[in-house]
Amino acid sequence: MKKKSLFIILLLAVVMISACGEEEERTVTLLTHDSFWISEGVFQDFTKQTGVTVELQMAGDTGQLLASAILTASNPAADVIFGIDNTFLQRALDAEIFSAYESPALVHIPEEIQLDSQHRVTPIDFGDVCINYWIDSFDANLPVPENLDDLINPKYYGQLVVQNPETSSPGLAFLLATIAEYGEDWEAWWEALKNNGVTVTSGWEDAYEGEFVAGGGDRPLVVSYASSPPAEVIYSEIPINSPPTGVLTDTCFRQIEFAGIVNGANNQESAEALVDFMLSERFQEDIPNSMLMFPASVNAELPQIFSEFAEVVETPYMLDPEFIEENRNDWTERWTEIVLR
Amino acid sequence: MTLVKKLRWVALAAIPVLFIGAFFYWPLIKIFSHALGGEEIEDFKSLLFSGSFHQIAWFTVWQAFLSTVLTMVLALPTAYLMARYSFRGRRIFQIVTTVPFVLPTVVVAGAFTALFERFGLDEGAFRLRHTVWALLAAHVFFNLAIAIRTVSSFWSGLDPRIEEQAKLLGATPWHIFRKITFPRLIPVLAAASSIVFLFCLTSFGVVLLLAGPTRATIETEIWRQAIWRGDIATASSLAVIQLVAVLAMVLLMNYLQRRQAVVENRMDFVYEKAPRKLFAGNIFLLFVMIGLPIIILFESSLTVGDGYSFQNFASLADRVTLVPVSAITALKNSLLFAFVATIFASLLGCIASFVVVHGRRWVSNLFDIGMMFPLGISAVVLGFGMLISLDAPPLDLRSSWILVPIAHSLLGIPFVMRAVIPTLRRIDPSLRESATLLGASPRQVSRHIDFPIALRALSVGAAFAFAISIGEFGATSFLPRNPDRLTAPLVLFRLLGAPGETLRGQAMALAVVLMTITALAVILVEGSFFKKETIRSDF
C-alpha cells in the first residue's frame, strides 16, 4: 500500500535527521529567550576569530528559559545560557545550573551590576522598567506625574495600566520598584493605587498595545521600558523626529540580563570564548538596536537614536536577588489579594 | 483469522500506538515521574483540597461547559442549512467557518478587544472586555467551525425522507426536530461537543487576554506555576487532575457516540434550494459571530497612520531587527510544518479510525480514547515532557525541527478520527455484504468501499489538521526552537511584543495572510477530494 510505504519513508527521515546531530566542526550552543537577537554577521565574526560556530536555541520567555534549563540540568542541551535576569537569578543559582567563569573582559563592566561574587553568571546587558507616558495627554493643567507618590494622586485617576506580576516580567519589576521604594508600606501604596483606578492586564502586549494610547487605548500611563521611546521612533510608520512617549525616570526598576556557562557543558573552552565575545565591543554595541537594551560594557558606544531618545536612568530601584527569591511568592500573593480581589 | 492476517492487523495497529506512545505518553510519564516522585503526594492532597484550586477548577469546568453548549446551539442552524439545502456561495460558507480556527489566539484576542472598543463595549454598563462573556464569545468564534463542519457532514448523510413523511403526517417542524432529527444527530453532536469541550477546557491565550487577570483556569494555572514560580511539581499535579477530567469527559462522549450510532442508507438526494429566510438568518448569525472580528482584523491590517494602504503587507518580506526571521520565512516554515503535520495526522488518524471501527471492543475503546488525550493535556507540561524525554538516541529530537510538526499532528489526529469514524461506522453493512457475496476479498472490500468513503470524510479532518498546525501557538511556544525555524504565529507574537506602529501593522498583515493561506488550503484539500459519486461509481 502506498500509504504505508510513505509513512515508512517519513519515519526513516525522522530517524536520519536525529542521527545527523553529531557534526565534525566545533560548535557552541547558546540557549536563550525569544527576545534575543543580534545583527547578522556578529556571530560570524566570532566564528572567524575562533573557528567555533554558534548554534542558537530559543525557549520562550525568561521564566520558560529558566524552567527548561533546570529541567534539563542532568543532560544539558546548551553550553551557554543567556537571558536570565536579576529577578530570577537566585533561582538559577540555587539550582546550580551554572559553573563559575571569570571573564577577563569583566574589567569593563561596572561593579554594581556584577551581582554574583563567584562569577557563575556574567552581566551582558541591562534595561529599566519604568512608567511610560503619552506626551500629548499631558499639558499645563495636567502636568506629567513625576514619581510613584504622584500616581496615587486623584488627578491621575484611571490613567495607569500595569501588568500582573504573577504573569509578566515588567509587571514583576514594577512591583519590585514599589517594594524598593516603600519597604513594608508597599501594600498601602497599592491599595491607594487600586482606589485610584489602576487597570491590570496579564502581559505587556495587552497593556501597551491594548490599553495604552500608543496601541489605540485611552490610558496615557503604562509600565514599559526606558527603551520604548526610541523603539517608537525606529518602528514608526511615518518617520518622526522625536518619540510620542516619555519615561518617568524616578519609577524605574533595573533589570540586568546575565550569561552563564552551563554546569557540565560539552565545550567548556568554546563556551568561555563565547562569554568573552559577548562582552566585546562588537557584540555589546549591537545590543541596543537588536534587543532594545543597554550594553553592560562601559566601552560600548550607544547608537545615535539611543543616546538621543533613551533616558539614562541615574538611580534606578534595585533589590538583592536573594531577597527577591525569598519573598517573591508572598509578595505576588499579597499583591493579588490587594489589587485583583 | 489466520495468523498472518492477525499479524498484519497487529502491525497496522502498532503504527499509531508507537507514534503516540513515543511522542505523547512517554514524555508525559517522564515529566510526571520527574515532578511527582514520592513525598509530593502529600502536596498533591493539600492542593486537591485547597479553596483556590476549587475556585479555579469550578471556573474551568463551567466556562467550558457553557462555551460548548453555546457553540453547539449556534452551530445547528448553519449545519442544517449546509446539510439539507443547496445555495450559492456554499464553498464560501465552508471557508468562512473554517478560518477562525487557524487564527492565533493573540490575534483573536486583539480583534475582540478592538471590536469591543468600536462598539463601546469596553467600559460602562455593557462592558464585555475582561469578562467571562468575552471569553465565551471568543470560544464560540474559534469552535463554531468544528461544530458546523462535523455536524453538517454527518447530517447530510441522514435520510431526509423520514422527516418528509413526518411532515406529510402533520408533525410540526419543532416536533420533527425533537423526535426524529435530534436523536439521529446525537452521535455526531457528542463527537463534536467532546472536541469543543476539550478545546475550551484547555484554552490558554484567550483566557489570559480576554477574561482578564482575575480569572484563571487550570491550564493558565499550570503555566503560572511552571513558568513563573518554577514549581513543576504543582504544575504536574494540576495536569494530572486535568487529565482525569478529560478522561471522564472522553468516556462519556465515547459512550454516547457508540450507543447511538445509526446505520442508514446514504442518500444522494437532490438538494432543494434554501428558503430565503433561513439563508438570510444564517448569514446574519455568521456575520455577527465570525464576520465582525475578521473585518476588524482586515481593517487594522490596512491601517497605516490615519489612512489605509498595503504597506504592512509589502513589508512582510523585510526582517525587522527585533525578530530573527522575516514574516515570509516564518510563513514558509509554517507551511512546511503544517504539510508534514497533516500527512502524519491523516495517515495515523485513518489507521486509528479503522482500528476503532473494525477492532475488538476493548481495542477500539482504547484507541478511541487514547488518541483523544493530546487535546486535553496542558501544552506546558507536554513541552517540558518532550524536553526531558526525547533527549537521547534513538530519539534525540530536542533540537530538531521535526518535533514541531509531530506535536501538531498529535493535535490533528483526533480531528481526523472525529471526521472519519462516524462515516466509517455508518457505511451500510449490506454494501459490504453484497460486495463479499459478489466475491470481493476483504481487502477489496476495504479498498473499494471503506477507503473511498473514508477519504471524503478524511478531507474534512485533514483540512482541520492543517489549520490547527498552521495557527498553533501554545504547544509550539513550549518547544525548544532554532531561530530560523520560527513559525508564523510565534513571529506574530514577537511582532506584537515590542512598541511601534509598523510592528503592530505587520503583525495584523501577517494574521490576514495566515487566514488567507488557510482558506486556500481548505479549498485545495477539499476540492481535490470532493468528488461526490465515488461511492456508487464502483458498483
SS3 of residue B516 by DSSP: helix
Query: B-chain residues within 8 Å CB-CB of A210?
Result: 110, 113
> Among partner residues A67, A164, A203, which is closest to B230 by beta-carbon distance?
A67
SS3 of residue B353 by DSSP: helix
CATH superfamily membership of A24-126+255-309: Periplasmic binding protein-like II (3.40.190.10)
Interface TM-score (ipTM) > 0.85: no
In the prediction, which pLDDT does A9 show? 59
What is residue A212's DSSP assignment?
A: B
Beta bridge partners of B396: B391
- By CB atoms closer than 10 A (0-12, 13-18, 19+), residue B464 is buried
Alpha carbons A233 and A243: distance in angstroms, whole number: 5
The backbone torsions φ and ψ at residue B272, rounded to the nearest 5 degrees and listed phi first, read -80, 155
Total residues belonging to chain B:
539
Average predicted confidence (pLDDT) for chain A: 89
Average pLDDT of the residues in A202-229: 88
Note down pLDDT in tens along chain B; length 539 residues.
578 888 888 888 899 999 999 999 999 998 888 887 766 667 777 777 777 888 889 999 999 999 999 999 999 998 888 888 888 777 777 777 777 876 777 778 778 877 887 777 766 666 777 788 889 999 999 898 888 888 887 888 788 888 888 889 988 888 988 888 888 888 888 888 888 888 898 888 888 878 877 788 898 889 888 888 888 888 888 888 888 888 888 788 777 766 655 555 555 566 778 888 888 888 888 888 888 888 888 888 887 777 788 888 888 887 777 788 888 999 999 999 999 999 999 999 999 988 888 888 888 888 888 888 888 888 888 888 998 898 887 888 887 889 999 999 999 998 888 788 877 877 767 777 788 888 888 778 777 777 777 777 788 788 888 888 888 888 888 887 888 888 988 888 888 777 777 787 888 888 888 888 877 877 776 665 444 433 322 22
CB B290 within 8 A of CB B100: yes
> Among partner residues B114, B384, B483, which is closest to A71 by beta-carbon distance?
B384
Q: In CATH, what number does A128-254+313-340 get?
A: 3.40.190.10
Is A209 in contact with B322 (Cβ distance < 8 A)?
no
In the prediction, which pLDDT does A3 show? 52
Alpha carbons A83 and A32: distance in angstroms, whole number: 6
Angle at B471 (CA atoms; ends B466, B476), nearest 5 degrees: 105
Segment A303-325, tens digit of pLDDT = 988 888 888 888 999 999 999 99
CB A294 within 8 A of CB A301: no
The candidate with the shortest Cα–Cα distance to A28, out of A288, A276, A283, is: A276
Task: Write down the H helix ranges in B169-291.
Answer: 173-176, 182-201, 205-210, 218-223, 232-259, 276-286
CB A156 within 8 A of CB A221: yes
pTM: 0.83
CATH number for the domain including B351? 1.10.3720.10
* B 342-401 residues with CB < 8 A to A: 343-344, 347, 350, 384, 387-388, 391-400
Mutate to test the interface with B, among A1, A11, A35, A64 (most CBs of B within 10 A): A64
In the prediction, which pLDDT does B535 show? 30
Decide if B160 touches A, using CB distance below 8 A. no
Which chain A residue has the Cα nearest residue B30? A71
In the prediction, which pLDDT does B93 show? 78
Element (H, E) at A221: strand A221-225
- Domain-by-domain residue ranges, chain A? 24-126+255-309, 128-254+313-340
How many structural domains comprise chain B? 1
What is the number of helices (H) and of strands (E) in chain B? Answer: 27, 6
In the prediction, which pLDDT does B264 show? 56
Segment A175-197, tens digit of pLDDT = 999 999 999 999 999 999 999 99
* B 163-222 residues with CB < 8 A to A: 208-209, 212-214
B420 grid coordinates:
472519519
In the prediction, which pLDDT does A295 show? 95
In the prediction, which pLDDT does A22 show? 45
Strand (E) positions, B385-454?
Answer: 391-392, 395-396
Segment A6-64, tens digit of pLDDT = 555 555 555 555 554 444 578 999 999 988 889 889 999 999 999 999 999 988 888 88
